[in-house]
């Protein structure tokens, strides 16, 4: 069942997670969106984002704007929606997918969350998009991600909606 299903993705996979939970939040018991492009209408205005217009299109083109708008995670967040427990991650020095994508997405989800499931952002300091990260940072990050996923799915399957294993 959905409350036992977690979704996780990194970079373009983070975009997929964001699009999936904003379009069908009822399908997931937990979500991990790592370093994802969340603002599909403005991505090309940040650092290297201009180079992705050949992949995604550009919101400067009217037809492409409408297509991008249909799945842009940031622009499909709805007030009064019960989003699954969600962990959004970013690196404070990510020059590929600027941290602003994750900051805005997490803040917008937190602002409209109607349920009691947590929306958490994990900001890795002195880190970029992920390549070249020291092993100790990788271990810490994976431990946090797996602990969040485990606690969220356990809470979701118990129907509790909280991350306290004691209750």
Structure tokens, 157: 């399957």
- Cα(138)–Cα(131) distance, rounded to whole angstroms? 10
DSSP 37-78: ---TTTGGGSGGGGGGHHHH--TTSHHHHHHHHHH-GGGG--
Q: Can you say how many angstroms the Cα of residue 49 is from the centroid of all Cα atoms in its chain?
A: 18
Q: Does the annotation mark 66 as catalytic?
A: no
DSSP 75-125: GG--TT--PPPEEEEEETT-SSS-THHHHHHHHHHHHH--SS--EEEEEET
Annotated catalytic residue within 8, 11, 58, 75: 11
Cβ-based burial of 35 (10 A; exposed 0-12, middle 13-18, buried ≥19)? buried
Annotated catalytic residue within 44, 101, 129, 156: 129
Q: Does the annotation mark 11 as catalytic?
A: yes
Active-site residues, by number, are 11, 129
């Amino acid at each position: 069942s959905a409350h036992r299903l977690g979704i996780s993705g990194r970079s373009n996979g983070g975009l997929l997670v964001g699009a999936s939970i904003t379009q069908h939040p009822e399908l997931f018991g937990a979500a991990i969106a790592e370093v994802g492009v969340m603002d599909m209408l403005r991505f090309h205005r940040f650092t290297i984002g201009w180079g992705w217009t050949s992949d995604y299109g550009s919101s400067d083109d009217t037809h492409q704007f409408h297509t991008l708008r249909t799945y842009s995670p940031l622009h499909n967040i709805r007030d009064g929606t019960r989003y699954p427990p969600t962990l959004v991650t970013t690196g404070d020095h990510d020059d590929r997918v600027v941290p602003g994508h994750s900051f805005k997405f997490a803040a917008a989800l937190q602002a409209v969350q109607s349920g009691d499931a947590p929306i958490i952002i994990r900001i890795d300091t002195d880190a970029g998009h992920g390549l070249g990260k020291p092993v100790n940072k990788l271990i810490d990050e994976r431990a946090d991600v797996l602990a969040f996923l485990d606690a969220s799915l356990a809470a979701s399957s118990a129907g509790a909606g909280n991350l306290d294993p004691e209750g």
